[in-house]
Structure 1
Amino acid sequence: MEASAQLDESAYCRNSQDAWASFLEARFDAHGRTAGSSGRAARLRMAELELESLRTYTALSKRRRNAVTACGSVPPEVLAIIFAFAQDIWEPECIRPDTINKKAKPSYRMGWMSVLHVVYSWRKTALDNPQLWTRLECLDIHPQFMPRTLLNSRHMPLRVHVRDGDASGFLDIAAPPLAVVHGWLCTPVIKRTEKLVIAARHGIFESWMAALNAPAPIMTELELGVVCQRNQPFHLQNALFANQALPKLTTLSLTGCLPGWDSHLFSSNLTSLRLSLAHIDFDAGMNHHDFLPTTSIFRQLLAPMKSLAELYLHNFFPRDDSSHEAPLALPSTLKTFECTCDEWDAFNEYHQNLWPCIEIPRDAVVVFDIQIEAFEELVDGIAGDLFMPLLAMNNREHPAQELYLSAHAISLRYSSQKRQGWTWQWPDEDSTSDRDALAYDRESGSRHVIAWTPMCDNVPQLPLETLQAVYFCSDAMHHYASPAKWLDVFGRAREVERLSIPYLNSLNLLSAMVPQGDEDLHSLFPSLKVLIIHTGSLEEEKASAYHAAVDLSLVHLLEMRGQAGGPIRELLVHRSMVSWEIWDRVRESTSVSFFGQ
């Protein structure tokens, strides 16, 4: 039975009232017995002081009462963990007016900081844990709370975020007062900032840069971005951080802004470097784009970075200076190199200078992603250049093992997938929509090219002779419209032992793999041992008709390969096709198992 059910509330209330009545009489009656009218002022003052004390202890009584509630009795160490999680989903927020109105003022939501006003134990826990106050979303915190927020963090390292405006100019609001800028980025704050992120429109960005006039001895991450359309990047002055080096800087990200190439920002300690010219209009009358480095300067820039692990370039290519120097061998620590481009003029003018300029470690993941609209029409005559990162590898020393092919993406891996990875599948939707879905090889290296141009036309350029496995996406299959086309393109891929196919789209491929005679036994994928079968993509009304034709082709292929002494030993079939009768038929000649859900 609950304790509340055992409590005699009437008796308890009588005892409580008697105790408080007795106590109040003892405190107040003493003042009333003071004789003489001359003491009235003193008696009144003493009574007022008693009331003030009573109010104080009434608040303390409420605090004691709250301490025995469910929320008030949570241990402080548990509360601190809860508050830390709350920060990620309940951030402070500045609500700006929808219309441009000089009289309209932004409003602020406190987010997780509202816990300060719930119960005393919550407030005390929040204030006793300075690590909760180390992430500062500066423009989402009311300026009047700035001093309190900074003091609450005590002397702990800070992560300072300033996000103001967007590239479209939709948030065309006034710049924050200089007092706000210099308050958040005052010298004591900069000196204990370990991560600084500033993304703002040009005019406002300049104000924030002017405030960075103190050394930052513990800063490890710096992200600066100008988020508005411009003809050239914002120039970062050497006076940043009092023109002193950032000795602990390991991560640098610059978007729409660049320093001089001898800047102390390009630290030799960098492990991650991102240079992005997003929002820069290369077709705005700029003939030479002098803000880009020459190939010599680009090599000099990267050469000291012996610990570089990640390199990201967006619309950033070096200018050719006809130096004819040997390519710079990037450090063996480099694990990821991504080059993306959505600006045709930047790509057309400069992309060919990048790949001969550097030599990428063979076990790195390389992604070349071209996001240019109508690229297929623009790229006529230079589509082969897209394959430069794929062909730069010495295939004898580090042979390609696996090929992943879709209409707009090609991947080469330099090691074979373990068996649990054999059933990897191209996304059912557009194969360029999610780069996270690509088959990366972060141990032995892989190369990936993505662009809105027919990739399949350039497959003959690839090193097909060493491939052990090929994975086809359904959108690539129609590029090879006949068995003869398949033989023509993939005839050199004689070592392939594993093939992943979209079943409903594979009629011509299956036909091409059927031996036509003893002398033609090894015409296409002669070493094939394992066939991985996904459903494929086909209009529903055509699927049933193609289903029968593909079934017959598969049965014929298995029979002919078996008779010729080169049997396909295993079929791995997606479970969505488990009810199809064809699998009972082919079990007579090969092993069939199902995967997936």
Structure 2
Amino acid sequence: MFHEETDSKAYRQSADDAWSAFIKTRFGAGPLGRSGRAARLPQLKLELETMQKYFAVAKQHMNACTGAGCLPAEILSTIFAFAQEVWPPHNRRRMHEEDRMRVVVSYDLGWIYATHVCAAWRKAALGDPALWQTVSCLALPLPMATDMLTRSGRLPLEVYIGDGISSISDDCISNWLSWPVLRRTSLLHVDDSRVDEDDMYERWNSVLTQPMPLLEDLTVSFYLDASATILPSSIWTESHPTLKSLILTNCYLPDWNTQVLGHSITNLLLNLDFLFEEDEGLPTTTELRDMFSRLTSLKTLDLRNFWPQKENSPPEPFNFYPCLETFAFEFSMRGLFASHYSYFWSLFRVPSTTALDIVAEDDVSEDTEDHPELLDPITQVDNSRFPATALVISGLQVKLFYTDVPSLVLDPPHEHLSARHIGEGSYRSLKCKNSAVKFLVPRLPLQSLRTVVVTVPAMKRFDRPDGGWVAKLGAAHETRQLSVYYVHALALMDDLTRKDANGGFSLFPRLEALVFHHDPKTVKTGAQSSLDLVLLELLSIRLEQGLPIRSLAVDSKMETMSVWSKIGRETTVSFFGPQ
């Protein structure tokens, strides 16, 4: 230990002497007059700048001696790849302090800063072309275009330009999207959708018409002013890329019969922000049918306010191929709903194995109008061949399942109302501004349901004086499981005790399992005792009729309630927590 301390002190003194002598040789000025000092000062500033530069180099050499600096290149590449996901480059925009009309842009290179830790890290990063394949054009300064192109070797490039907020300069387009870049591009996402009527989308024509033989994924998003933009007629004339994914927002293809839309496409999204009437750029019904018929590998389809032009003599109905896994259909303009919705669904049929999400965000006021045609895509399914097995009901949405979902009854009901949930198979979901309980539920194929799940908003609507639960769900004779919120279940449990003219139960006569969820927004009141009494009476009445509720699953947040200890042994009580 003594020798180590002595060696350390000796080395420190040696380093101090060496640097002291070096500083004197570079910064020593000696006796200078006024003119000499004026001449020497710029030199000293330059010496200091150079010293700071090599101070960073010295730190890199020091870092190279640490354990992290000795990591294998393969591990470093993995670290950099993870860093790219959580620390991407981005730009910062601020107003100029003096000229408020000017925007000053600075850049944060994100994960790229990590490659400057030491020479070994930089060498590892530069030696892995895969790290430089993804290019976010607005997040990087223009001079880096050449660096990204060379560092990525000859690998295909994934190029993103635009974010719908920031303006895109012509210099940015010409530098980042030059032909050497585009000929190597496999993914191109263009988002020039910021609201600026003065922006001219013609400047993208030279980009979109360049040969891109490797292109597999194309996204083009523009702002919709008076009408959608038609892409240049010469697109894909010099090369025919093998597209797998195409996303168009507020723009049309010049030719909907293009062979680029063929068997290789697996993902297609066609989106218009609004559309008051038929647009000439839209495909005719026949063109849309022919296009879909060529998409033999299509897995994901998304149409938003995208209606084909109607024809006096429409073609034969088209059945989508069984490979279609998900179909999202959204519209927000009521005028075209009235004229095109039933027309569309009479001509385009979705397989029962597809997860179908329909969002009808038109301007219909809830609870005021009945639109039975909204259910056309659901009633197309032959329930005798493909029976619906489960139903989730919310205030303005219904979701009908055709395959078993094991976690359905124990998950919070609202979790299954969003887009495709983990573990879900085929289903039909309809979200609109009409009351689901009042207008939609009674028209659904209820006879085959085995499971019914109801959210809080829907339970409150069932309590309204228009027939209650029996009028809306009385046809669901085969239901075995019911998942609801206990605190809102008073009217439900009352209806579960009611009998029909033949002496059988009017509501869910074959019910075997109840699942009670906890509503955290409800404050405990004196009505709790009435609720508990009705539950015990329900269990007794069902047991007396030889149709007992065999199991009761209760949210663990309600485990301390005394009512559960009063339930007879004929009904098994269990508690469940977060899934």
Task: Tell me which interval the TM-score lies in, with the shorter structure as reference length.
Answer: 0.7 to 0.9
CA apart distance, 1:199: 0.4
Counterpart for residue 251 of structure 1: 245
Return 135-144 or 111-120, whichever deviates more.
Answer: 111-120
Deviates more, 1:91-100 or 1:292-301: 91-100
Moved more, 335-344 or 91-100: 91-100
2:229 maps to which residue? 234
What does residue 551 of structure 1 align with? 532
**1:342-491 equivalent positions in 2, closer than 5 A:** 342-372=332-362, 374-376=363-365, 381=369, 383-418=371-406, 420-427=407-414, 435-436=418-419, 441-442=424-425, 445-458=426-439, 459-481=441-463, 485-491=468-474
CA shift, 1:63, in A, is 5.4
Partner of 1:327: 317
- 1:423 partner amino acid: L
Query: 1:116 and 1:205, CA in 2 relative to 1: closer, same or farther beyond 3 A?
Result: farther
How far off its partner does 1:16 sit?
Answer: 8.6
Provide, for residues 132-157 of structure 1, a one-character-per-residue CA deviation record: whole Å limited to 9, x for no partner: 11100112211112111211111111
Q: Which residue, 227, 247, 262 being the options, matches 1:267?
A: 262
CA deviation after TM superposition for structure 1 residue 104, in Å: 4.3
In the alignment, structure 1 segments of 5+ residues that lack a partner are 25-55
1:509 Cα deviation from its structure 2 partner: 1.2
Partner of residue 94, structure 2 = 97
Aligned residues of 1:222 and 1:251 also touching (Cα < 8 A): yes
CA distance in 2, matches of 1:165, 1:297: 30
Kept in 2: contact 1:498–1:530 (CA 8 A): yes
**Conservation of the 8 A alpha-carbon contact between 1:246 and 1:267:** no
Alpha-carbon distance in 2 for matches of 1:274, 1:518 = 52
- Residue aligning to 1:306: 296
Partner of 2:50: none
One-letter identity of the residue aligned with 1:256? N
Task: Report if the CA contact (8 A) 2:266-2:299 is conserved.
Answer: yes
Tell me what 1:88 maps to: 85
Q: How does 1:149-160 map to 2 (within 5 A)?
A: 149-160=148-159
Q: Matches of 2:555 and 2:549 in 1, distance apart?
A: 17
Deviation string, structure 1 residues 321-356 (Cα, Å, up to 9, x no partner): 132433101111001000112333443442222211
The one-letter code sitting in structure 2 at the alignment partner of 1:446 is Y
1:127-182 per-position Cα deviation (integer Å, ceiling 9, x unaligned): 1111111100112211112111211111111100001543xxxx5x4x4134x323
Q: What letter corresponds to residue 137 of structure 1 in structure 2?
A: S
Q: What residue is the counterpart of 1:504 in the other structure?
A: 487
In structure 2, the CA distance between the partners of 1:108 and 1:516, relative to structure 1 (3 Å rule), is closer
AA of the residue aligned to 2:552: L
Structure 1 residues 59-74: aligned runs within 5 Å: 64-74=61-71
Matches within 5 A, 1:49-60: none
| 1:157-196 aligned within 5 A | 157-166=156-165, 171=166, 173=167, 175-178=168-171, 180-196=172-188
Q: Indicate how the Cα distance of structure 1 residues 197 and 538 shifts in structure 2: closer, same or farther if over 3 A, else same.
A: closer
Equivalent in the alignment of 2:210:
214
- Contact 1:162 1:198 (8 Å CA) reproduced: yes
Counterpart residue type for residue 163 of structure 1: G
- SS for the counterpart of 1:369 is strand
Aligned equivalents of 1:16 and 1:480: distance in 2?
84
Contact 2:61 2:119 in 1 (8 A): no
The Cα of 1:412 is off from its aligned counterpart by: 0.6
Change (3 A) 1:383 1:127: same
CA drift at 1:394: 0.6
Aligned match for 1:523, one of 490, 499, 506: 506
Q: Look up the equivalent residue of 1:209 and give its one-letter code.
A: N
* Aligned mates of 1:562, 1:362 — CA distance in 2: 38
- TM-score, L = length of structure 2: 0.85
Secondary structure, counterpart of 2:414 in structure 1: coil
8 Å Cα contact 1:569/1:590 also seen in 2 = yes
In structure 1, the partner of 2:518 is 535
Task: Please state how far the C-alpha of 1:121 moved relative to its aligned partner.
Answer: 1.8
| 1:397 partner amino acid | R
Find the aligned partners of 1:120 and 1:415 in 2 and give their Cα distance.
Answer: 56
Q: How much has 1:71 moved relative to structure 2?
A: 4.2
Asked whether the equivalents of residues 502 and 537 of structure 1 are also in contact (C-alpha less than 8 Å), the reply is: no
Which residue in the other structure is 1:52 paired with?
none
In 2, are the aligned partners of 1:251 and 1:271 still within 8 Å (CA)?
A: yes
Flag the 1:14–1:489 CA change in 2: closer, same or farther, 3 A: closer
For the residues of structure 1 that align with 2:576 and 2:436, how far apart are their CA atoms?
29
Q: Is the 8 A contact 1:246 1:264 kept in 2?
A: no
Deviation at 1:464, TM superposition (A): 1.1
Q: Is the 8 A contact 1:270 1:307 kept in 2?
A: yes
CA contact (8 A) 2:486 2:516 kept: yes
Q: Secondary structure at the match of 1:149?
A: helix
Match of 2:40 in 1: none
- CA shift, 1:501, in A, is 1.5
Q: Which runs of 5+ in 2 are unaligned?
A: 23-52
Indicate conservation of the 8 Å contact 2:451/2:480, yes or no.
Answer: yes
CA distance, structure 2, for counterparts of residue 449 and residue 518 of structure 1? 34
Equivalent-residue separation in structure 2 for 1:318 and 1:69 (angstroms): 64
3-state SS of paired residue (1:531) = strand
- Inter-CA distance 518–594: structure 2 relative to 1 (3 Å threshold): farther
Whether contact under 8 Å (2:59, 2:118) holds in the other structure is no
Check 1:315–1:16 CA distance in 2 against 1; reply closer, same or farther (3 A cut).
closer
Q: Counterpart of 1:95 in 2: which secondary structure?
A: strand
| Cα offsets for 1:301-323 (capped at 9, x unmatched) | 21111111110011112232132
- Are 2:566 and 1:570 aligned? no
Contact 1:199 1:205 survives alignment (8 Å): no
- Per the alignment, residue 37 of structure 2 pairs with none
Aligned residue for 1:566, secondary structure, equals: coil
What's the C-alpha RMSD, in Å, of the aligned pairs?
3.2
Distance of 2:310 and 2:368 partners within structure 1: 22
Distance 2:466 2:493 in 1: 8
Mark the CA change 1:141 to 1:514 in structure 2 (over 3 Å): closer, same or farther.
same
Q: Letter of the aligned partner of 2:203 in structure 1?
A: S
**CA distance in structure 1 between the partners assigned to 2:169 and 2:347 by the alignment:** 43
- Of residues 554-563 and 255-264 in structure 1, the stretch that sits farther from structure 2 once superposed is 255-264
2:291 alignment partner AA: L
